[in-house]
Structure formats: structure tokens, C-alpha cells
């Protein structure tokens, strides 16, 4: 085996130290995020009931789990170092600043884990703002740092000292001053380099439901994700001038595949980035690299008209372009928007109250890209079950267990072979499928998803289905033993139906695995077996000066070096591998079918996803007999296999 050609990477998660509780398996729990609040735009100082918008955001972050809050703001005297890039420089916040009172700042301190310092706001004044290269830390802060700051804070300071950039770090890393876009980006880079947990970036002029922020911050995985709103979900009242309306993205299969801003354009955007970005620990190195690169580009005026209100937009575009897998976290019914004026802010806050946050959370727990049966026959009413299960304190895994139990009962009923038992079996099977949907929704609703839960769910889906096949065959054969393969070969049919299903799954898995291997993306992002839009589009992605950018274009990790990264982000003709558009006709036909709602559903139904399978089994077994069920499964499954194979072979060529 040519081992040398494939250096075996060591599984990273197990390398992390874990704090084990006695008697429990090693639980690697990622620390909560470091929240970076960019209180640099005039909108951050807009008033609301809680003071300013930044105060409001600060209160919300307090209710969520965050390691600490780092605020970035402009120095008191408007130095206007970058008139060309910082049109808002003339309107920099007043010295009173984003955090109006020291009490509020104190509350931040107590919420954090990095040690509480009482001398917070006092150290905000320093004489070094506006100077380039030589970044100084005021004496007060140094004292604080020596006494109480964590190593991570010290690292932030060191990192910023080393870059020769603009931002000035004060107060042990909790307050950063920067004079413009370049400094903001360098500050983010420094925080990312310092580590100490995932990094979340918030604009100061944000009006959002706490629940919306929790979508990213309270996610147990603490991975990389961006809040997005589907185009159709955007409130029509959103003013076109609002900063958020400038950040188009294209999201596919739960992942941001192209992101734009005033400089980077996106072909066929289908969603808007809603200004909040959360970068997991695994991607911090990429974030630092991207932020640093963007800062250099901004310094060299190579980002067009991009200004300091677009820090998160630029970072998202950069991360996507270097191939970081960014989860697209849909807002659903929740609101999260940036505002540009007092009236805008007031209206946005009023709109927040119009949404029932719990209902929105429930709606968000329903998978958006599900099959026809799951969407219309189950998810349309399963929300009540989810809420009831949450109230009863059922865990998702317990619901999975209930679902398995119901499927077992259904198999027993089918094995009796009488009409009434068949009907009972059909009902039980459908209920089992409903619970199968509920467990996933409950996991998302309570944010209790775990790798083990996902594995149990998927594995027991298979066990349930094949046990039902056996039950059906037993019921059909009854007492009469019609030879080796049972009467009319029903046992052979049962085995054939099972094997066709298993091989169809293997086609899905293998194709998804091959695509993930080729793109260098983690298979965790690939959802195999979807009929809807199973593939990344082959046309150019986020177009930037004609340079196509699909996730395949930038490989993750050190391979995407600084030079290549700069080329990707600035639109130079970098050495990027462009995914070849193959299978022309079939792919184009498939894309055309996606445009029409009816044919899109047809495409999903034809591959016989689990919901359709369960209904097919329930209906045929309830009304006819097991032989009809198996023949239907074989016929439909065969067509589905041919359809899938044709499409995937066409896409591979």
C-alpha cells in the first residue's frame, strides 16, 4: 500500500484534552464562544429601551453562554486614517461608547470565565491610538493583565503587537479600538489566533431575537456557522439601504457554498447572510488567515467599496472561498437584522415581539429539505408531539427507542397475517415513522443532538425497516411452508427487497463519500440520498472577477496558503482547481426540474425516501398483502436505483 502517498492524518478530536467527570465516558465539550461585538458603525449607538443597541445585544449575550465579550469600537478622537475606506469615520461613536456604564461592563466581567477585573472602563484612555505599527498597551491595563488576565488574553495582546496592524487592545483583551476596516479585521485575526474558544462576530447595530443568536451560540457542536434567511423569508419592509441586504449567499444542503458583499458577488443567491458568524475552534486558524488576508487587501485598497460595516460579510466570503465548511443556519421565523436608523431600529424591535419565539424554534426544528411524506404528512403536525415530548422531559434517544418499539409491534402485527392485524400493523408502522421524525425534531428543538443519537437514529431506522420486512414475510407464509423460499417465493422477495434497499443506500453513501473525498470536505456535511438537489451546481459559484469558486476550488488546511487565499479573495487568477461541469444534458435537465415546485417534489418522491417507503409498505400491506408490498418495493426501488445511478454517473463524467 503506498502509505507515503497518503499520510495518515491523526483524528483531531481525540487529541483534545477532555475534562472527564468520574463515571462518565470522556466528554469532549468545546468551550463557549468568544463574542466579538463590532460597535463600530453609527447604528450601534441607536437608542432602545435597554439603552443603545449594543447594550441590548450585550444583555442578550449575557443570557447565552459566552466565554467573554470583546468589543471593538472607534477611538474617541476620530482619527480618520482611512478616509477612502471608512466613510463612517466621521461619525464614530462618542467616548461614552457602546457600553454606556461601567456597571454594564462589570456584568460582562462576571459573566466571563477569564477572570474579573474591576478597573474596566478606566483603562479606555490611552495615548497610542492612531499610530501605526507601534501598538502600545496602557500601564493600567498591563497591571490588570499581570494580575488577572488569562493566557489567552495575553496572547491576544502579543498577537496584535506582532502584526503591526491598527487595533489597540485594552483591558486585558476585552475592549479593542481600531480605526477602520483594516484594524477591525486584524482584531478578529488576533482574537482567532489567541484561541480560547470559538469566535462569534456580531455587528453592533443588530436587532435580533435571543433565540436567533442561540441558534449559533447554544449549539452543542460549537462548529462554524452563519445565520441566513432564505430570500422568501425576508421581511418586505426591510429597507434596501439596510446593511444586511447587501450580503447575498447561496446555501446548499445546509452549507454556505458562496457568500458575497459589496465587493464579492454571488451567482444565483438564494439567501441572505444575517450578519452573525460563529467560527468553531477547528476553523480558527483559517479565520485568522482569512482576516489577516482581507486586512491586507483592504489596506491595499483591493476590496472596492467594502467598508467597516461589512466585516462579518467579508469574513464569511473569505472563509467560504478558502474552503471552510460553513453551516447555513436558517433563521426561519425568527428575526435578526441590522438597522440603519432610529426609525428602522424601533420598527425592527416592534417586529421582534410579533414572533412567538417558541413557535419559531419549533418550526426551525423541522428539517427543511425533507421528503414529501415527511414534510406534508408528518412535520405538518408533529410539532405538538415535539413540544409534548420536551415537556415530558423525553430525550431524543428515548423517542428513538419508542419508535423502535412501535416498529417491533408493527412487525408482530404483520406476522399474524390476518387482515385486521395487517391494518393495525400499517397504523403502527406509520406511527413509528412519525416518532422517527419527532426524535430528530426534538433533538434540534432541545439542542440535544449528539453523534451517538444520530447514529442510533440512523441505525435503528434500518433495523426497524428490515424487521418489518421479516414480519411481513412471516405473516404471508403463515403456517403453510411452500418450500425453501416460502409460498410464492415470498421469502426470496423479502430478501431481495432488503438487498435492493441496502445497495441503493450503498450507492448514495459511496457517491457522497467520493465527492467528499474529492472536495476535501468532511462527509459530515454530505447528506446522502436526497432526491431534491443532490449535487453542488456545476456552474461557477460565487463569481468574483470571473473566478469560479465552488467548495472544490479551495482545499481546506495548509494547502490553501496565504498566496492562494489572497488570489481567491481578491479575484486574481489563482491556481484554483475548478470542478469540471460534466454530464451536461442530464445535469441541466435536473437543474431545470428543480425550478418547478411540482417536478422538484416528483424528483424527491421518485427516489423512494424513507417516508414514502413506510407509506408504501403500510398501504400495500394494509390493503393487499405482503407479496404486493415486496413487489412494489422492488419495482419502485429498482426504478429509483436506475434513476439515481443515471443521474450520478452523468454528474461524475
Partner 1 sequence: MHMTRVPRSSVVTYRDDGVLARGMGLLVAGQLPPLPPALAGAFVTGVMLLLGVAGADGPAVFAPAVALMLAGPGSSHPHDGRLDWLVPPILRLTEYGFVACVGFAWGVPRVLVFGLLGAMLFHHYDVVYRCRQHVYPPPWLASAGLGWEGRMLLVALGALLGIVTPVFALLALYLSALFCWESVTCWLAAPRSGVEAADLGGQD
Q: Which of residues 235-254 bind partner 1 (CB under 8 A)?
A: 254
Q: Count CB-CB contacts under 10 A for residue 619.
A: 15
Residues 633-652 that bind partner 1 (CB under 8 A): 648-649, 652
Residues 582-621 that bind partner 1 (CB under 8 A): 582, 609-611
Residues 313-352 that bind partner 1 (CB under 8 A): none
Residue 518 Cβ, how far from partner 1 at the closest point, in Å?
Answer: 7
Asked if 10 is part of the footprint of partner 1 (rule: CB under 8 A), the reply reads yes
Contact 59, 23 (CB under 8 A): no
Residue 504 Cβ, how far from partner 1 at the closest point, in Å?
Answer: 8
State in Å, rounded, how far the first CA of the chain is from the last one: 27
- Contact segment (CB under 8 A) with partner 1 among 124-132, 151-159, 217-225, 304-312 equals 217-225
Rounded to 5 degrees, φ, ψ at 570 are -95, 0
Asked if 19 is part of the footprint of partner 1 (rule: CB under 8 A), the reply reads no
Asked if 578 is part of the footprint of partner 1 (rule: CB under 8 A), the reply reads no
Pick 120 or 644: Cβ nearer partner 1: 644
Residues 33-92 that bind partner 1 (CB under 8 A): none
- Contact segment (CB under 8 A) with partner 1 among 4-12, 302-310, 410-418, 617-625 equals 4-12
How far is residue 484's CA from residue 493's CA, in Å, rounded to a whole number? 12
Pick 126 or 485: Cβ nearer partner 1: 485
Asked if 506 is part of the footprint of partner 1 (rule: CB under 8 A), the reply reads yes
Contact 428, 413 (CB under 8 A): yes
* DSSP 8-state code for residue 558: G
Pick 159 or 406: Cβ nearer partner 1: 406
Helix (H) or strand (E) holding 326: strand 326-330
Residue 505 Cβ, how far from partner 1 at the closest point, in Å?
Answer: 6
Torsion of CA 103, 109, 115, 120, to 10 degrees: -50
For residue 89, what are the CA distances in angstroms to 52, 179, 202, 291?
19, 8, 19, 21
Pick 319 or 544: Cβ nearer partner 1: 319
Q: Where are the alpha helices (DSSP H) in 417-523?
A: 419-445, 451-477, 490-519
Residue 462 Cβ, how far from partner 1 at the closest point, in Å?
Answer: 5
Residue 555 Cβ, how far from partner 1 at the closest point, in Å?
Answer: 14
C-alpha cell at 572: 486574481
Residues 421-480 that bind partner 1 (CB under 8 A): 436-437, 439-440, 443, 449-455, 457-459, 461-463, 466, 470
Asked if 26 is part of the footprint of partner 1 (rule: CB under 8 A), the reply reads yes
Pick 13 or 77: Cβ nearer partner 1: 13
Residue 190 Cβ, how far from partner 1 at the closest point, in Å?
Answer: 25
Pick 24 or 103: Cβ nearer partner 1: 24
Q: b vs e for 387-415, b when ≥16 Cβ sit within 10 Å of the residue's Cβ? A: bebbeeebbbbebbbbbbebbbbbbbbbb
Contacts from 299-305 at CB under 8 Å and sequence distance 24+?
Answer: 299/182, 301/84, 301/85, 302/570, 303/85, 303/181, 303/263, 303/570, 304/262, 304/263, 305/262, 305/263
Pick 32 or 260: Cβ nearer partner 1: 32
Q: By CB under 8 A, name the one of 63, 380, 418, 510 that touches partner 1.
A: 510
Contact flags string 349-388 toward partner 1, x per CB under 8 A: ------------------x-xxx--x--------------
Q: Count CB-CB contacts under 10 A for residue 600.
A: 15
Per rule CB under 8 A, count of chain residues that contact partner 1:
90
Amino acid at each position: 500500500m503506498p502509505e507515503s502517498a497518503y499520510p495518515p492524518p491523526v483524528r483531531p478530536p481525540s487529541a483534545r484534552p477532555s475534562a472527564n467527570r468520574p463515571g462518565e465516558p470522556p466528554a469532549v465539550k468545546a468551550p463557549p464562544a468568544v463574542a466579538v461585538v463590532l460597535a463600530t458603525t453609527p447604528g450601534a449607538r441607536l437608542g432602545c429601551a435597554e439603552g443603545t443597541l449594543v447594550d441590548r445585544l450585550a444583555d442578550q449575550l449575557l443570557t447565552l453562554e459566552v466565554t467573554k465579550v470583546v468589543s471593538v469600537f472607534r477611538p474617541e478622537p476620530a482619527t480618520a486614517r482611512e478616509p477612502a475606506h471608512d466613510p463612517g469615520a466621521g461619525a464614530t461613536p462618542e467616548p461614552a461608547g457602546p457600553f454606556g456604564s461601567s456597571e454594564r461592563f462589570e456584568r460582562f466581567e462576571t459573566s466571563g470565565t477569564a477572570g474579573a477585573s474591576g478597573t474596566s472602563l478606566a483603562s479606555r484612555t490611552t495615548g497610542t491610538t492612531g499610530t501605526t505599527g507601534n501598538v502600545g498597551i496602557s500601564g493600567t491595563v498591563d497591571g490588570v493583565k499581570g494580575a488577572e488576565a488569562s493566557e489567552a488574553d495575553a496572547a491576544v495582546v502579543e498577537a496584535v503587537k506582532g502584526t503591526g496592524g491598527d487595533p489597540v487592545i485594552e483591558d486585558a483583551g476585552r475592549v479593542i479600538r481600531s480605526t477602520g476596516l483594516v484594524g477591525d479585521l486584524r482584531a478578529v485575526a488576533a482574537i482567532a489566533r489567541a484561541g480560547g474558544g470559538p469566535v462569534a462576530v456580531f455587528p453592533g447595530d443588530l436587532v435580533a431575537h435571543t433565540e436567533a443568536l442561540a441558534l449559533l451560540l447554544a449549539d452543542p457542536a460549537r462548529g462554524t456557522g452563519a445565520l441566513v434567511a432564505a430570500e422568501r423569508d425576508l421581511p418586505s419592509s426591510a429597507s434596501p439601504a439596510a446593511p444586511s441586504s447587501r450580503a447575498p449567499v447561496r446555501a446548499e444542503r445546509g452549507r454556505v457554498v458562496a457568500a458575497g458583499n459589496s465587493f464579492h458577488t454571488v451567482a444565483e443567491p438564494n439567501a441572505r447572510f444575517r450578519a452573525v458568524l460563529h467560527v468553531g475552534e477547528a476553523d480558527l486558524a483559517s479565520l485568522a488567515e482569512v482576516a489577516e488576508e482581507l486586512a491586507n487587501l483592504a489596506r491595499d485598497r483591493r476590496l472596492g467599496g467594502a467598508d467597516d460595516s461589512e466585516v462579518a460579510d467579508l469574513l464569511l466570503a473569505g472563509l467560504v472561498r478558502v474552503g471552510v465548511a460553513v453551516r447555513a443556519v436558517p433563521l426561519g421565523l425568527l428575526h435578526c437584522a441590522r438597522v440603519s436608523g432610529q426609525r428602522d431600529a424601533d420598527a425592527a424591535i416592534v417586529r421582534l415581539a410579533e414572533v412567538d419565539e417558541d413557535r419559531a424554534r419549533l418550526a426551525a426544528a423541522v428539517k427543511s429539505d425533507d421528503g414529501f411524506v415527511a414534510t406534508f404528512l408528518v412535520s405538518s403536525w408533529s410539532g405538538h408531539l415535539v413540544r409534548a415530548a420536551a415537556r415530558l422531559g423525553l430525550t431524543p434517544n428515548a423517542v428513538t427507542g419508542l419508535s423502535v418499539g412501535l416498529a417491533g409491534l408493527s412487525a408482530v402485527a404483520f406476522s399474524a397475517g390476518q387482515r385486521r392485524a395487517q391494518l393495525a400493523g400499517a397504523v403502527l408502522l406509520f406511527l413509528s415513522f412519525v416518532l422517527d421524525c419527532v426524535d430528530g425534531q426534538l433533538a434540534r428543538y432541545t439542542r440535544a443532538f449528539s453523534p451517538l443519537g444520530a447514529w442510533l437514529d440512523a441505525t435503528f431506522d434500518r433495523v426497524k425497516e428490515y424487521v418489518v420486512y421479516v414480519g411481513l414475510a412471516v405473516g404471508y407464509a403463515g403456517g403453510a411452508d411452500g418450500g425453501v423460499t416460502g409460498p410464492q417465493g415470498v421469502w426470496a422477495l423479502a430478501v431481495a427487497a432488503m438487498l435492493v434497499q441496502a445497495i441503493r443506500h450503498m450507492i448514495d453513501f459511496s457517491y457522497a463519500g467520493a465527492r467528499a473525498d474529492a472536495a476535501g470536505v468532511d462527509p459530515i456535511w454530505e447528506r446522502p440520498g436526497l432526491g431534491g438537489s443532490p449535487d453542488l451546481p456545476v456552474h461557477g459559484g460565487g463569481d468574483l472577477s470571473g473566478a469560479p469558486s465552488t467548495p472544490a476550488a479551495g482545499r481546506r488546511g495548509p494547502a490553501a496558503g496565504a498566496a492562494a487565499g489572497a488570489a481567491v479573495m481578491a479575484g486574481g487568477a489563482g491556481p484554483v482547481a475548478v470542478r469540471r461541469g460534466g454530464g451536461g444534458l442530464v445535469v441541466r435537465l435536473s437543474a431545470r426540474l428543480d425550478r418547478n415546485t411540482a417536478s422538484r417534489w416528483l424528483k424527491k418522491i421518485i427516489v423512494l425516501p424513507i417516508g414514502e417507503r413506510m407509506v408504501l409498505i403500510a398501504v400495500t400491506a394494509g390493503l393487499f398483502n405482503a407479496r404486493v408490498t415486496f413487489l412494489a418495493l422492488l419495482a419502485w426501488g429498482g426504478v429509483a436505483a436506475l434513476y439515481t445511478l443515471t443521474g450520478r454517473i452523468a454528474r461524475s463524467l
